[in-house]
Amino acid sequence: MDAEKQYRCGVIGYGGAFNMGRQHLSSLNDKEGVEAVAVCDMDAGRREIALADFPGIKTYSRVGDMLKYADLDIAVLVTPHNTHGPLALRCLRAGVGVICEKPMAVTSSEIKAMIQEARKRKLLLSTFHNRRWDGDFMVLRNLIQKEKRIGRVFCIEAGFYSYGPQGDWWRSDRKISGGSIYDWGAHFTDWILNLVPEPIEWVSGYQVKNQEWKGYTNEDHSEYTVCFKGGCRATLTMSNLSMSGGPRWRILGEEGAIEDSGGKFRVESMVKGRRMHADVDYLESTGHKYYENVYAHLHGKEDLVITAESAARVIGVLEAANISAARKGAPVKPAFV
């Protein structure tokens, strides 16, 4: 990376959902030495909005034209999940570094090709796991790894629980999304893999589709269990088929337990032979630090936090969970352990 270079960046996909394209461009444009210069979207209306949001920016309707004429250093992909792999390879082969919205891609084979291309050309490849800086996760990591408040962790239960059919759009189409577990499940998986930094032995998956809810192909209840080399097992549940919920996090250690109670964690631990209780508030979330780290990395000041290799492990687990579920829960070794 070059400390003196002015990095030219563009976004592929300026869709209206969550305004993520605008958020990425704003974050990039806010950094000295990094300039947001281009947007690509098939929708003419969205290109007009991009021009209004960023006067003077160049807009394109085709990726090929953007890569040919915009003179980019980095492209941010804000497109449906199943396009991340093909688009990333196209950008990398054109000499353009890539930041993918999560998930990095849908399959491990795509990611292996992406990593190989980025290494060969010495280009940036990262995934927007900005929730690595969420306040609840940072507290969990501190309690477990820094303060060692509950001793060796042997069990993690995490997830979201709700009841009701999914919306009818591409995120609910399994062929496009990869399945419901590829959405928020990608964030949770990234968190789990960072709470337990050990090699993975196997992944077992289980899925249920409510046959009465038509119009989409995603499963309605997805869960997996990851078994780590040190013996810890983590189970993630993502369900819109659960009338009875549970805490977002429940973590058991040999010397205590942590349970999410909304806005804070209830911590039970042993201190000098005595059982103690504490409520620990979430920290403030600082997701903006993702791009601060990318900026510092581009200018040779910091190592990249969200590496392609760390994002690849997330997809390895999600892919293995889908394969295992299709095999009635048989354990599967992920492509990235």
Choosing from 128, 145, 173, the residue where a domain stops is 128
Residues 215 and 113 placed together within one structural domain of the fold: no
Between 17-26, 56-65, 109-118, 194-203, the lowest mean confidence (pLDDT) is in: 17-26
Which are the contacts of 90, defined by CB distance < 8 A and separation ≥ 6? 63, 67
For residue 222, being part of any structural domain is answered with yes
Which structural domain, as residue segments, surrounds residue 174? 135-285+315-326
**Share above pLDDT 90 across residues of the chain, in percent, rounded to a whole number:** 92
- Say what angle helices 108-121 and 308-326 make with each other, to 10 degrees: 160
pTM of the model: 0.96
In the numeric block, the tokens 């995603």 are attached to 218
What's the average model confidence in pLDDT over 19-37?
89
pLDDT digits (tens, 9 = 90+) for 127-152: 999 999 999 999 999 999 999 999 99
Mean pLDDT taken over the chain: 96
pLDDT in tens, 102-135: 999 999 999 999 999 999 999 999 999 999 999 9
Among 71, 102, 128, residue at a domain's last position:
128
Please give the helix or strand (H or E) that residue 237 lies within, else none. strand 233-239
The CATH number for 265's domain is: 3.30.360.10
* In a shared domain, residues 149 and 263: yes
Residues 149 and 279 in one domain: yes
How far apart (Å, rounded) are the C-alpha atoms in residues 296 and 292? 6
Question: Mind listing the pLDDT tens digit for each residue in 196-239?
Answer: 999 999 999 999 999 999 999 999 999 999 999 999 999 999 99
What are the pLDDT digits (tens) for 252-289?
999 999 999 999 999 999 888 899 999 999 999 999 99
Q: Please, which pLDDT band fits residue 51 given cuts at 50, 70 and 90?
A: very high
Which amino acid belongs to residue 182?
Answer: Y
What SS3 class is residue 265?
Answer: strand
Environment class of residue 166 by beta-carbon count within 10 Å: exposed (0-12), middle (13-18) or buried (19+)? buried
- Total structural domains in the chain? 2
Residue recorded with tokens 């992944």:
203
Does residue 17 belong to any structural domain of this protein?
A: yes
**Pick from 98, 128, 158: which residue ends a domain?**
128
| pLDDT reported for residue 273 | 87
Q: Any idea what the CATH number is for the domain that residue 112 is in? A: 3.40.50.720
Report which of 71, 68, 82, 69 is spatially closest to residue 13, judged by C-alpha positions: 82
